[in-house]
Chain A
Amino acid sequence: MAADTVARSTLALQFARFRRNRLAIVSIWLLALIVAACFLGPYAFPFTGEDADFDFIGAPIDFTSPHLFGTDDFGRDLLVRTLEGGRVSLTIGFLGAFVAGVIGVLYGAVAGFAGGRTDSLMMRLVEVLYGFPYVILVILLSLLFGGGNTALFAAIVFTLWLTPAVIVRSQAEGLARREFVEAARAGGMTSTAIVLRHIVPNCASVVIVYGSLLVPEVILSESFLSFLGIGIKEPQASWGNLIQTGTSAMSTDLRLLLLPGALLVAVLLCLNFIADGLRDAFDPNDR
């Protein structure tokens, strides 16, 4: 090793490798652009997505009018509605993935570390929950929470923490047998501290990769549920219900479908390219 080599953690090396993946980097910039547009864009307009403009009902694309991409049947600006819908979809996506990820990682780390009967019982519970029909669960939770975003969010988190739990558990199981865990116990660490300081950080690679796949998954299920009409409700917009409105007008006016659809596709592609890049950079098999 050269004397001038700066000590670098494996995590730092992996990110350096990630930065060389051009497609992933472009995706990150594009995604950042879309996120910024969704969160800041609507403020650039004098009206919100819920304000009806009775002079422009069902107006077509016209870059000289105040409604650049036209309006829907209620005279609401399509671009603003799509951006606002993006805000909802992206928030649920990132927040849902984060919460589901944290729950799943901790659950899996504890199960894998504890091993034995605790592990068996915890993982049998996961299998039972896996078998639960998703849509029925959402409907049940909607009844429980009186519908709305909370129910949707709860249902998404409730179903999506399972896979990270299983993935992290298998990692944790192997890590728990490594000698540095024994050394930590000899060093007087409690089991909780060992899980948080040694097990979870060593699962970082898989968590980052899987977490980046979880975000599009959440966005997709939000859109899917809103499309079915059991997710985000009108007048609040989300990409799911905008696409749903768009498909019903598809034969006469494609515009209503294309704008939210294109943004959804762009975001999903970006997230998948990023996830792909992360996996290539973190995969321990080609080190």
Chain B
Amino acid sequence: MPLLEVRRLDVGYLIPGEGLFARPRRLPIVHDVSFDLDPGRTLGIVGESGCGKSTLGRALLRLNPPSGGEVLWRGTDLATVPARALRRQRAEFQIIFQDPLAALDPRMTVLASVTRPLATFAPGLGARAREERGRAALEKVGLGSDFAGRYPHELSGGQAQRVGIARALVGDPKLVICDEPVSALDVSVQAQVVNLLMDLQDQLDLALVFISHNLAVVRQMAHEVMVMCLGRVVEKAPRGAFFAAPLHPYSQALMAAVPEPDPHRERARRGTAIAGEVPSVLTPPSGCVFASRCPRAEPRCHGERPALRPLQGGRSAACHFIEGTS
């Protein structure tokens, strides 16, 4: 049985209506997402800003409730778990954040931040035992005990992100959602954090959901890649196959948008940037989510939404121009 099974998940936000007594409206963000995740594996989720990657990540942990579909954790639908039990169970699935400094309470020491979740996850533990586990978690992420008493404003971005990882690890999780964990860090520090996450995955057999818009990092970390556009999955493929030849025009466009280090090739590459505006989530297109910006779009693409069809080699894509296997 996979660790995490996501079935046709929809997620939306409630936004307040106009005026005090108006009914709040639901703004749909994520539509019809399904995938499985096994222990020790990494799913990379890529897509441009605002495509619903982070919203999806939080819904997987029930930090915001899904509006449709289900999330099965080891076979149990998380929606059926009572609130109190769910709080305990959160030890098993954790999250690390994009802005590592904002993710730490400025008035708490590093050790206090790291050990805080143990009050819920291991309520029987004494103060001494909790502190020991906190220090052990800090050790795991390469922070010595002299960091324990520091405050967030005394940390660098990379150190703060390590503290965030230590806090996620303190309850011995099986799954960690990494929501753009390196995009706020210096490039040199990014590599350290990526390597740390990969080492920890090997040691602890962690499953990771790695949300990022940085394709190079996803290529290094992920076993499988899922591409999202405007809240829908447009392509899903094993890492090797995806980076060898992305099928969906949106995936191809994302890949082409990665800057080239060589200035000559970079100049030759000009003009491949995605043209056009991203459609608003308030008025989603009735056809393909990428149609308004797709170089290959035909009238059919605007009128009819392509389904995510399984293809050869365990991949799938949602595009009228890609032939399905079925």
Contact = CB atoms under 8 A, between A and B. Distances in A.
A179 B105 contact: no
B103 to A, nearest CB: 4
A180 B20 contact: no
Given A117-B16, A187-B167, A204-B107, A179 B102 contact: yes
B73 interface: no
A187 B89 CA distance: 10
A33 interface: no
B154 interface: yes
B117 A201 contact: no
A7 B97 contact: no
B20 A190 contact: no
Contacts of B167: 183, 187
A110 B170 CA distance: 29
Given A116-B16, A124-B20, A186 B107 contact: no
B300 interface: no
Contacts of B90: 186-188
Contacts of A5: 154
Given A186-B95, A188-B87, A188-B117, A202 B149 contact: no
Interface in A183-241: 183-190, 197-198, 201-202, 204
Interface string B143-169: 000000111011000000000100110
A208 to B, nearest CB: 13
A179 B149 contact: no
A124 B21 CA distance: 13
B107 A9 contact: yes
A124 B20 CA distance: 10
Contacts of A9: 107, 109, 151
Contacts of B119: 189
B308 interface: no
B91 A188 contact: yes
Nearest to A8: B151
B305 interface: no
Interface in B91-115: 91, 94-95, 97-99, 102-107, 109, 113
B223 interface: no
B24 interface: yes
B120 interface: yes
Contact of A184 (B88, B116, B121, B171): B116
Given A7-B150, A186-B61, A202-B105, A120 B99 contact: no
A157 to B, nearest CB: 28
A188 B88 contact: yes
B63 interface: yes
A129 interface: no
Contacts of A186: 61, 63, 90, 94-95, 168
B59 to A, nearest CB: 13
Contacts of A204: 107
B236 to A, nearest CB: 26
Most chain B CB neighbours (cut-off 10 Å) among A8, A179, A198: A179
Contacts of B107: 9-11, 201-202, 204
A268 B72 CA distance: 63
10 contacts: A117-B20, A182-B58, A182-B95, A182-B97, A183-B103, A186-B95, A187-B167, A189-B120, A202-B107, A204-B107
Interface of A: 1, 5, 7-11, 116-117, 120-121, 124, 178-180, 182-190, 197-198, 201-202, 204
Given A7-B151, A9-B109, 20 more contacts: A9-B151, A116-B14, A116-B16, A116-B24, A117-B16, A179-B98, A180-B104, A180-B105, A182-B58, A182-B95, A182-B103, A186-B63, A186-B95, A187-B90, A187-B121, A187-B171, A188-B117, A189-B87, A190-B87, A201-B107
